[in-house]
């Protein structure tokens, strides 16, 4: 089912220019690959229900921010929430659309999904190239029952400007002082080791192909590509598996009103059940709209997804935004997003 949805949306992207003439309400978006699986699924169902097409390109959060600033798309998508000064500078409105989790994925012969355990320190040391062999004593100590090869670890990371990388490096900066000092956080960083793949798609493909590799992808990509993932030790010291419930636990106490543009970062949250690398993905639209019809269709699509897309999100192990939060979002649309003449778009 998931492959069919991706194919439908890919066709929509490829023939988007031709279809725009036939569908006046078609809209375009671009950005984060983290939410692409669920946006693809929503878009396919939305087209089936309404006849209107959402052409979304998975190009990375950095590209999504650049394209919405340049007004080459109707909406941008980013997992790295834009800061208040940039939102104001570019006249953008930001809101969270979905919550999910980033997971470490591995390709080690004989190791099943969720069988390998990693502590925050060990994970950071692998990406710092301080731990370079799978049978390193630090890994064996927390995995006494897992047969690990005496093979070099191949690190795979993102090569593009990525909100998934922002979340991953934000987490590593919180749990490792050395990582914070030497590498830091951002959509793109100077990696101490490894090779890069473009998008969650590219990282998943490399890990699937390269023996003894480790990378990081949104959970849906791990499942879709039949990749093994590692359990992580969370802030409460518990080893947890990635799941919709674990992502929801991490987001349970989020104060969405506290951050400009609701840009809450959900990494390393407390709670015995919390997945440590949880994040929201955000949508960016211009507050003043030269194309109000397109803007209204963007809002209509996401409102439809908020009201009808929770089940589809759960099927892909994303966490839908709580109704209290979506009510807050749609209320802000009425006051903050307007046509160029000042009239309201969302009523």
| Per-residue model confidence as pLDDT tens digits over 25-53 | 799 999 999 999 999 999 999 999 999 99
pLDDT, one tens digit per residue, over 229-246 is 999 999 999 999 999 999
**Dist CA 332 CA 346 (whole Å):** 9
Q: What is the pLDDT of residue 292?
A: 96
Whether 281 and 31 have beta carbons less than 8 Å apart is answered as no
Cα–Cα distance, 66 to 237 (Å, whole number): 39
**Res 258: pLDDT:** 87
- d(CA 27, CA 289) in angstroms, rounded, equals 14
Place of tokens 């900066």: 173
Same fold, 2-100+280-339 and 102-254: yes
As a whole number of angstroms, the distance between CA 284 and CA 299 comes to 11
What is the dotted CATH code of the domain comprising 2-100+280-339?
Answer: 3.40.190.10
Instruction: Give, for all 347 residues of the chain, the pLDDT tens digit.
Output: 333 333 333 333 333 333 333 445 799 999 999 999 999 999 999 999 999 999 999 999 999 999 999 999 999 999 999 999 999 999 999 999 999 999 999 999 999 999 999 999 999 999 999 999 999 999 999 999 999 999 999 999 999 999 999 999 999 999 999 999 999 999 999 999 999 999 999 999 999 999 999 999 999 999 999 999 999 999 999 999 999 999 999 999 899 988 999 999 999 999 999 999 999 999 999 999 999 999 999 999 999 999 999 999 999 999 999 999 999 999 999 999 999 999 999 99
Q: How many CA atoms lie less than 13 Å away from 221 in the CB half-sphere? A: 26
- Decide if 267 contacts 185 (C-beta within 8 A): no
Instruction: Please state the pTM of the whole predicted model.
Output: 0.90
Q: Phi, psi (5° rounding) for residue 277?
A: -115, 65
103 vs 90: CA distance, rounded Å: 32
Backbone angles phi, psi at 184, to 5 degrees: 80, -160
Q: How much is the CA Rg of the chain, to the nearest whole Å? A: 20
> Domains of the chain: which residue ranges?
2-100+280-339, 102-254
Architecture of domain 102-254: 3-Layer(aba) Sandwich (3.40)
pLDDT digits (tens, 9 = 90+) for 63-100: 999 999 999 999 999 999 999 999 999 999 999 999 99
């Amino acid at each position: 089912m998931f492959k069919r949805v991706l194919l439908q949306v890919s066709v929509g992207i490829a023939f988007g220019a031709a279809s725009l003439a036939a569908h006046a309400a078609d809209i375009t978006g671009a950005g984060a690959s983290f939410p692409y699986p669920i946006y693809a699924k929503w878009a396919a169902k939305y087209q089936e229900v309404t006849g209107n097409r959402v052409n979304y390109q998975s190009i990375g959060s950095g590209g999504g921010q650049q394209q919405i600033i340049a007004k080459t798309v109707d909406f941008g998508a980013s997992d790295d929430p834009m800061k208040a000064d940039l939102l104001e500078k570019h006249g953008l409105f930001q809101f969270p659309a979905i919550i999910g989790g980033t997971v470490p994925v591995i390709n080690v012969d004989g190791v099943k999904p969720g069988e390998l355990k990693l502590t925050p320190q060990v994970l950071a040391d692998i990406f710092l190239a301080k731990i370079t062999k799978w049978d390193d004593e630090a890994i064996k100590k927390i995995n006494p029952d897992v047969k690990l090869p005496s093979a070099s670890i191949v690190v795979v990371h993102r090569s593009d400007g990525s909100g998934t990388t922002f979340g991953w490096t934000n987490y590593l900066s919180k749990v490792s002082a050395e990582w914070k000092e030497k590498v830091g956080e951002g959509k793109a960083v100077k990696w101490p080791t490894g090779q890069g793949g473009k998008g969650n798609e590219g990282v998943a493909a490399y890990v699937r192909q390269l023996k003894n590799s480790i990378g990081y992808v949104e959970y849906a990509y791990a499942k879709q590509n039949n990749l093994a993932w590692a359990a992580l030790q969370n802030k409460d010291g518990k080893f947890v598996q990635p799941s919709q419930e674990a992502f929801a636990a991490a987001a349970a106490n989020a104060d969405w009103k506290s951050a400009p543009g609701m840009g809450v970062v959900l990494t390393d949250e407390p709670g015995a059940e919390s997945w440590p690398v949880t994040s929201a993905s955000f949508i960016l639209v211009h507050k003043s709209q030269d194309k109000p019809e397109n803007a209204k269709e963007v809002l209509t699509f996401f409102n439809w997804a908020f009201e009808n897309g929770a089940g589809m999100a759960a099927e892909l192990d994303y966490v839908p935004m709580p109704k209290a939060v979506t009510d807050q979002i749609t209320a802000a649309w009425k006051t903050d997003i307007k046509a160029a003449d000042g009239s309201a778009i969302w009523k």
